[in-house]
Amino acid sequence: MNAGTDAMMKISPLAGLPPPPDALIDVDKLISAYYDVPDIADPLQRISFGTSGHRGSAFNLTFNELHVLAITQAICHYRRHQGIDGPLFMGIDTHALSVPAFRSALEVLAGNGVHVMAALDGEYTPTPAVSLAILTYNDKRSSGLADGIVITPSHNPPEDGGFKYNPPNGGPADTDVTTWIEHKANEILLNGSANDVKRIPFERALHAQTTHAYDFMAAYVLELESVIDMQAIRASGIRMGVDPMGGAGVHYWPMIAGHYQLDLSVLNSKIDATFSFMPVDWDGRIRMDPSSVYAMQSLIAKKDDYTLAFACDTDHDRYGIVTPGSALIPANHYFSAAVDYLLRFRPDWNQGAAIGRTIASTQMIDRVAGDLKRNVYEVPVGFKWFAAGLRDATLGVCGEESAGASFLRRNGKVWTTDKDGIAAALLSAEMTARTGRDPAQAYDALSERLGTSFAKRIQAPATAQKRKKLASLSARQMTASTLAGDPILAVLTRAPGNNEPIGGLKTITAQGWFAARPSGTEDIYKIYAESFRDEQHLSSILIQAQAMVDAALEE
């Protein structure tokens, strides 16, 4: 990052360093706080589904037992309302609040007679493994369909908890579904959940006839070769290292390495709810974010020891790729190179399958698509917008700016409809094995052919009120006629692909663009920007973008 954008983001002097003791959570206090009662009269302490479920922290009364009980009961109501009566696949990540939330959820699901498929021996379960399980069960079924719950706040700090629902299409729930569940759950809270929630004690729920053990890990690992050319990776002898970041896939990687006989070393197998092994992120907080150069410092330090190294976040739906020559590859660079590779090396895919990308991802993808004569489906932030297209294979590969992606099996059939960091990471090895170039080198070749992109994401503080205001800004509030010296061609508040609200805005010129949107879970907003000119032009876009947004929020 250059000095200008570093100043805007107020980079902590601790960024990239081991966390000091006072940065670590007290796990016992956090779990005790989980059972505290939120003030339902305060709207900030009610249930709110963002782009991927409800997230919050027990410390600020936004992720507590009452929230989980109400959401789970609302999901039970939704299942009955929709006639969903198959099993529910439930997985958890390694955040401290995930285990107590699992206990609460299981009590309600068992109390409502829902058949629950949970991991063997309490094993942690990555998001893509839950998505795959749902799709596998529902394949060729038209009734008795399965759905799922993943208890995770993704890469969020250790004190956070998260709870998301995946309907029978296997992907994140669409807005109409989450709105229904959110409203019903808050109705339960406001009416007094003790009378509305059906639950039984945990030990009874655990041993109920409706609670079943499911081997998510074997089901996922044994199917991986249908989406990744494992034989090519094995034959190449590529030396790989992986950092699971203490996440849900920590035991999946050894099984992958052993089953497919790969030269793959697991560099960190620790599970520690304080995540004390994580270098702190840009603002001095701990995040398990594989797209952050600060959080990835431990792996970057080992870049010369491996042909490729990669990491996944806590629920393993995001990736980070490290190479000796380029260190951490920006997520947009990797996804662009992966799109180009997949569309050239998957001959069994539907040749009309489009590329899915979010509003804040690089326009290099559009250039790749034009080069290969493919269509681009541009949507708001949120992987839910891709689920239907991945399921029916009208979308071949889909990705977000925040290092989340999924793509079809090698035969052109659906793999997962939620993000899959494991497959995305292993794809980097397949690309290297089959082309002789690592993904960073592949992206450099794209740049030589299609133009050089300069892109960056910054974050700035924003209260809950300002985040809400940003989500509802109109194009009329952006009064500037130029951006970094270029005429503004368009200000978008809806995505071109599906005409859905962006939840922020995007401003476009002939040489660059920026998009601004609030975080759904933290008191920050994010600005994504890209220039096809140079770094100075990019810096000018970012500086003006933050000034424009801040001015609009102060009105």
Tokens, residue 59? 């410390």
Helix extents (H) in 311-463:
331-345, 364-372, 387-391, 421-435, 439-450
The contacts of residue 173 (CB under 8 Å, 6+ apart) are 49, 53, 164, 165, 166, 167, 181, 384
Phi/psi at 88 (5° precision)? -110, 120
Distance, in Å, from the CA atom of 131 to the CA atom of 420, rounded to the nearest integer, reads 9
Distance, in Å, from the CA atom of 43 to the CA atom of 73, rounded to the nearest integer, reads 20
**538: three-class secondary structure by DSSP:** helix
Q: What is the DSSP string of 67-95?
A: HHHHHHHHHHHHHHHHT--S-EEEEE-SS
Query: 401 near 458, Cβ under 8 Å?
Result: no
Distance, in Å, from the CA atom of 135 to the CA atom of 359, rounded to the nearest integer, reads 27
Q: What share of the chain is helix, strand, coil (3-state, %, to 5)?
A: 40, 20, 40
- CA angle 141-379-424, nearest 5°? 65
At 59, the amino acid letter reads: F
At 208, the amino acid letter reads: A
Task: Single out the residue of 271, 319, 315 nearest to residue 151, CA to CA.
Answer: 315
At 535, the amino acid letter reads: E
Q: How far is CA 395 from CA 44, 150, 285, 406, 413, in A?
A: 37, 24, 36, 10, 10
Catalytic option among 57, 131, 154, 336: 154
Give the gyration radius of the chain's Cα atoms.
22
Q: How far is CA 25 from CA 50, 158, 248, 471, in A?
A: 24, 7, 19, 31
Burial (CB count within 10 angstroms: exposed 0-12, middle 13-18, buried 19+), residue 12: middle
Per the annotation, the verdict on 154 as an active-site residue is yes
Burial (CB count within 10 angstroms: exposed 0-12, middle 13-18, buried 19+), residue 165: buried
Catalytic center residues: 154
